[in-house]
Amino acid sequence: MNGRAIFGAYMLTEVQVDFLPILVDWIFTLYALAIIARSILTMLRMNPYLPVMNFLIQITEPLLAPLRRHIPPIGIWDITPMVALIILWVAHLIVIQIIRTTAILLGAM
């Protein structure tokens, strides 16, 4: 299709189609780093009222809170962040595959 894909009412060029997986990759990577940072800072007993820690709690709690209801701690260790990272990794792979498959089906790649 001459390097273009029809997506809804828009024509996407190859550069735009290649940009979407990169953007999704960055979003998932930044969220995973936020989970890791929160875990490390929590182990270091960082004050949760500090702005950085408060921000990390606000952005990661929507994923971690539901998991904590179903995953008990093992001794003193909370393994919820590790489970969240695995779920995030699987979701990342699925979303990237859907984007690439859609681009191939639309003839953009």
Question: Would the pLDDT of 1 be above 50?
Answer: no
* Model pLDDT, residue 108: 55
Structure confidence by residue, pLDDT tens digits, 25-55: 999 999 999 999 999 999 999 898 999 999 9
Determine the number of helices (DSSP H) and then strands (DSSP E) in the chain: 3, 2
- pLDDT class for 15, splitting at 50, 70, 90? low
- Alpha-carbon separation of residue 30 from 12, 88, 90, 108 (angstroms): 26, 11, 15, 27
26 against 14, higher pLDDT: 26
- Which residue's entry shows tokens 């498959």? 101
Q: Number of folded domains in the chain?
A: 1
Parent domain of 88: 4-105
